[in-house]
Amino acid sequence: MRLRLLLNLAKDKFRLWVPKKAWYRLAKLKRKIYRKNFSEEFKTYPKKEPPLYFVIRREPPGAGLFSNLNHILQGLLVAEKRKLIPVIDMQNYWTSYSISSAVNGSRNAWEYFFDQPTNYSLNDAYNSNRYVLSKGNRIAENHWLTQKSLEYALESEKILEVNRLLTQYIKFNSFTTSTLEYVKTEIDWNPQGNLGVSLRGTDYLKIRPHGHPKQPSIQAVLKEIDEVLIRKPDLNIFLACEDLEIRNTIERQFPGSVLKNFRDTDFFKEFVSRELKTSKRNSEVMTNALGYLIEIILFSECNSCVTTLANGSVIGLGLNGGRFFENRIMTLGVY
């Protein structure tokens, strides 16, 4: 494991010198070559002993923050079914969010933002010699959680199941919790006074990933927002979106109603940098990932929502657990 960690750190340094597009091409090639190395593996000694732990891993470099979280939910379901203790390893199996520096004393990228699902650690699992390494992709095989279309979010009973898994196993660590409270104070957070709006932009719209949900036009989104605000004019708009052009369009359409963009303010970047004391790149990676996570948490607390389907918004719907006063999910099929 020590050698694997050193290799991961070397990859992180190498990544600084490689253009982003070239890096992901190399990662895609590596995934094809090494996919066979990510089938399920039993690591028990002596052989007759049954496993105790289920180590949830994903093929490097994983995907987006909430795609990775969806993958973790699949692993938690499998661990439950097999009555194994789940632990999450994003230390020996790096992700696009892994950085060279330890965060809060951990090099496990999962633990940048979350605690382990139970009171057991990664070391507990590996030192036991009684564990199973999960598949690196589609852990739950044909379960509805593996649907790229994410259309399960339209079914209330399935969203309640996502809510159960999130509530039972997904625990925000002290760093995430303190940052969340900091942001709430800075933006004078009033969840019941906000309409949560979540949609994707930037690279997602350009890539149009095959099998993933189509995103509606900004005009269609504005129409949905307007229809909600006609009935509830006192609501402000909390926007969870990484695209500044989309944000500017919504702000122009509803002047004075959109809460400020904390992800792009100096106080938030300085807060993250001060906590991590890392390089500029590491600070940007953490700012983007942690900011996105906090946006989705706040989105889930809003009075009502207008949202497109994406991994982040579906986790937000799961965190909310069907409590939105009004819930408008815009669907157009898949790319």
- pTM for this one? 0.87
296 by Cβ neighbours in 10 Å (0-12 / 13-18 / 19+) ranks as buried
76, 56 contact by CB (below 8 A)? yes
The domain locations on the chain are: 2-146, 152-330
User: What is the spatial distance between Cα 185 and Cα 208, in angstroms, rounded to a whole number?
Assistant: 36
In the structure encoding, which two tokens stand for residue 157, read together?
């009973």
We find that the CATH architecture of domain 152-330 is: 3-Layer(aba) Sandwich (3.40)
Q: What is the pLDDT of residues 308-319, one digit of tens each?
A: 999 999 999 999
Lowest mean pLDDT among 36-40, 147-151, 194-198: 36-40
Q: What angle do CA 73, 77, 83 make, to 5 degrees?
A: 135
pLDDT higher at 211 or 81: 81
56, 79 contact by CB (below 8 A)? yes
Edge-to-edge strand list for the sheet holding 41-44: 41-44, 130-133, 53-56, 85-88
In the structure encoding, which two tokens stand for residue 56, read together?
């949830």
- Which pLDDT does position 19 carry in this prediction? 79
pLDDT higher at 105 or 247: 247
Please give the distance of CA 239 from its chain centroid, rounded to a whole number: 17
Q: What is the pLDDT of residues 222-259, one digit of tens each?
A: 999 999 999 999 999 999 998 999 999 999 999 999 99
For residues 302, 308, 312 and 313, what is the CA-based torsion angle, rounded to 10 degrees? 30
Q: Nearest Cα to 283, choosing from 297, 271, 267?
A: 271
